[in-house]
Structure 1
Amino acid sequence: MITPFKSKELVSSALAGRNLRNQMINSNLANVDTPFYKSRDIEFETALVNRAKEIFKKNDNKELKLAQTNSGHQEPWKFPDPNKSTIYLRDGHLARNDANTVDLDVETTEMSKNTAMITALDGVLRRQSNIFGSIIDASSKLS
């Protein structure tokens, strides 16, 4: 039986993350003149890498596990959760006199990088579906 590509879920998730980043950048650009607005971004790459390791069964976890001496003890929790996306305020940008931290140069550069990644991921998704379609066509001709 033919199974779908394992990476399709990852590519789709990466596209969703890139779409969210695009929305964040657009929001930052829309608020370039809003006093006290802090530019935001989203970090989804770590969750994507962790999901890829899960899908492809590559467990190179070097995390030291906390010993639990009693079943009533609370499980350790991670902050931020490495399996979820995190929205954060971009640091390192000097606030203007109105305390706004949006930098047009940074935002336009990030928008260009993000657009290039979306285009590349879209191409990967199209190629995968073309390959899968070709396999289905070829197998139907054998019948």
Structure 2
Amino acid sequence: MTFFSRTFDSLQQGLDYAALNNKTIANNIANVDTANYKAREVEFKSILDNELKTNIEAKRTHEKHFTFNEVSNQFNVTTNKGTSYNHNGNNVDIDKEMSNLATNQIHYNAMIDRMNGQFNNLQSVIRGGS
């Protein structure tokens, strides 16, 4: 099933990120009143930027093929220790977390829609285009 493997791999990485992000945001919301709890977030953009700077070369079967970079699907969860919004040392901003949760849900749903579209395309090919 190599025809769809790159697309499925990319969608899977996006879903992995969205799932970890959702878990992290939910944990922040659950600890909104916990003394000295520090909000966490999943880093993605900085990891992507660092990976793209390293310019990992893939094997090309023809000199006219485009080069591309491989990007790791490892995501880091970081803790924001530098701020404190509440008198108890907690720094969870519930409005920000709820906004992040809604944004992440939209991202997750879009990834699921794309994955379903890929499966529908594959099903159509298997059925002979009907």
TM-score (norm. length: structure 2) = 0.75
Residue from 94, 115, 118 that aligns with 1:128: 118
- Deviations along 1:53-90, one digit per CA (max 9) or x if unpaired, are 8888424x9xxxxxxxxxxxxxxxxxxxx732111123
Q: Among the aligned pairs, what percent are the same residue?
A: 27
**1:66-119 Cα deviation digits (max 9, x unpaired):** xxxxxxxxxxxxxxxx73211112367543111100001000000000000011
Which residue number corresponds to residue 27 of structure 2? 27
The whole-number CA distance in structure 2 between the counterparts of 1:47 and 1:122 is 23
- Measured on the aligned residues, the alpha-carbon RMSD in Å equals 3.2
| Contact 2:43–2:75, Cα closer than 8 Å, also in 1 | yes
Aligned to 1:119: 109
Contiguous gaps of at least 5 residues in structure 1? 62-81
> Would you say 1:58 and 2:65 are equivalent positions?
no
Q: 2:100 aligns with which of 87, 100, 110?
A: 110
Count matched residues: 118
Q: Residue 92 and residue 119 in structure 1: after superposition, are their counterparts in 2 closer, same or farther (change >3 A)? A: farther
Q: Report how far residue 16 of structure 1 moved.
A: 1.2
Q: Separation in 1 of the partners of 2:7 and 2:25? A: 27
Structure 1-normalised TM-score?
0.69
Q: What does 1:42-121 align with in structure 2 at a 5 Å threshold?
A: 42-45=42-45, 57-59=67-69, 83=72, 84-90=74-80, 94-121=84-111
Amino acid at match of 2:26: N
